[in-house]
Amino acid sequence: MSDTLQKLQWRYATKKFDPTRKLSPEQLECILEAIRLTATSSGLQPYEVLVVNNPELRARIQPHAWNQAQVTEASHLLVFAAWDNYTAERINAMFDLVNEARGFRNEGWENYRNFLLQTYPPRDPEVNFQHAARQAYIGLGSALIAAAELKVDCTPMEGFDPDKVDEILDLRARGLRSVLMLPLGYRAEQGDWLVDLKKVRRAREQFVTEID
């Protein structure tokens, strides 16, 4: 078994963190960079990651996240927030960034820009938000793997009231809506009912279908 698979076998959705143990700045940056480098549809990166360090804000979020202790006890709390809509300004900004970084303009790339400009902004904003939110889930996957590689514990969370989190973090003013939360830290030595239980997944033959 590869080292990566061994670490994925090790990871689990941590239920109780040790609040005295903190990630190093280097560990946190590695996980954030893994998210930043993640693939997104058309390369638009239509979401942002907020690192909520303020303990008062985290305490305000906790009651709106089913009172899950991980929100306040973990070393760090990441909030994945997707664009509330695709706009011409946002699409153009990403295409212009690519052109600037690569130092040239490509006709096919510019044609694709125009295609997206004609397709995305006219759509219903909720359709666009849902599409952007799915990109955040791809980033979550990268974060889970990066954390496992570093032997950092984490707990992906959908169990929270997005409207309340948006209000607490003032996300709507930035054109963002919360999608996921990811506490990061280290499992407590005692008190986590899930820590020693066998990881259970469907058998490969029930999960993977090979089509020749």
Question: Could you read off the pLDDT of 183-195 as tens digits, one per residue?
Answer: 999 999 898 898 8
**Does the pLDDT value for residue 181 go beyond 90?**
yes
Task: Report, as an integer, the average pLDDT of 141-169.
Answer: 98
Does this model's pTM top 0.85? My answer is yes
Task: Report, as an integer, the average pLDDT of 63-71.
Answer: 98
pLDDT of residue 189: 87
pLDDT band at 21 (very low <50, low <70, confident <90, very high): very high
pLDDT of residue 171: 98
pLDDT of residue 112: 98
pLDDT of residue 1: 62
Q: For residue 119, with 0-12 CB atoms within 10 Å meaning exposed, 13-18 middle and 19 or more buried, which class applies?
A: exposed
pLDDT of residue 196: 86
